[in-house]
Amino acid sequence: MTDDDETTPGGWTGGQNAFGDFAPGLVHYTDKVLFDEVWERTDLSRRDRSLVTIAALTALGKTDQLRFHLAYARHNGVTDDELKEALLHLAFYSGWPNGMGATAVLKDVIENGN
């Protein structure tokens, strides 16, 4: 993960980069509301928000979105060992297949970079 516009407060462009003019509503809510407002609230750190998001995505089996959020958690200060431990813990609460799937995604993120 680089320190480009996608990771700077008030300048998130991940939705725009992904969808451009194809889905302007989704782009707006992703960039301006979710990442520029919700992720910037001060009652939880970005690190904690990353862990909560990973837990939700793992429990729901949403590995497509999990790939980004595992890499983003690393950028937000969560270590690889902490991510491995979180996914092990989640396997017991969210179902073994969800934990296995999430761990496979993490393995790929760590080994191939993101």
| Fold held by 45-114 | AhpD-like (1.20.1290)
81 pLDDT higher than 70: yes
The highest-confidence range among 3-7, 24-28, 34-38, 48-52, by mean pLDDT, is: 48-52
The pTM score is 0.86
Domain with CATH 1.20.1290.10 in the chain: 45-114
Cβ–Cβ under 8 Å, residues 106 and 99: no
Cβ–Cβ under 8 Å, residues 91 and 17: no
Digit-coded pLDDT (tens) for 50-65 = 999 999 999 999 999 9
Dihedral angle computed from the Cα positions of residues 104, 8, 33 and 98, in that order, rounded to the nearest 10 degrees: 10
**Model confidence band, residue 27 (pLDDT cutoffs 50, 70, 90):** very high
29 contact partners, CB below 8 Å, separation of at least 6: 15
Residue 98's H or E segment, with its range, is helix 96-112
d(CA 103, CA 7): 24
Residue 24's H or E segment, with its range, is helix 24-28
